[in-house]
Amino acid sequence: MFIKRSIKFFVIVLVAFAFASVATAYAASNTVPPSSAGQGSGTISGYTVTNVAYTLDSNNPSSITTVEFDLNAGASTVKASLISGGSTVACVHGSGFHWTCTINTLVSSADNLTVIAASN
């Protein structure tokens, strides 16, 4: 009887050891690629908007169809609005620092040119 218990105990320990070995093997196979983390600060300077030109709709001159302008530095994303607090539209980059925005706004509603620009 003692031998049966010893064999049972030995088998249970052996099975537990096998499961522990497999679990450890899976845990040891995880790899994490190198990464970076940190904190920093930098100056946020604004852009200067120049050479602003509005294009009126040739069929309905009470509507502005596009606004074009130049920025004083490169930007990767530019949006514009002609209405205070209004939604912005994405602008298309031309050559140099020139941008064109298809805006479709009534002249009577246009009260403020807002340009949002960012570089990555």
Q: Is the pLDDT of residue 13 over 60?
A: no
Report how far residue 85's alpha carbon sits from residue 101's, in angstroms, rounded to the nearest whole number. Answer: 17
Task: Name the residue ranges covered by the structural domains of the chain.
Answer: 49-118
Can you say how many angstroms the Cα of residue 61 is from the centroid of all Cα atoms in its chain?
Answer: 37
- Which tens digits make up the pLDDT trace of 79-109? 999 999 999 999 999 999 999 999 999 999 9
- Which tens digits make up the pLDDT trace of 46-62? 899 999 999 999 999 99
* pLDDT above 90: percentage of residues in the chain: 60
What residues form DSSP beta bridges with 105? 64
Residue 96 is predicted with a pLDDT of 95
Q: Is the pLDDT of residue 27 over 80?
A: no
Give, for 53, the enclosing helix (H) or strand (E).
strand 49-56
Could you count the other beta carbons within 10 Å of the beta carbon of residue 12? Answer: 10
Query: pLDDT-derived band of residue 30, with 50, 70 and 90 as boundaries?
Result: low
Mean of pLDDT over the chain: 85
Residue 35 is predicted with a pLDDT of 84
Could you count the other beta carbons within 10 Å of the beta carbon of residue 82? Answer: 22
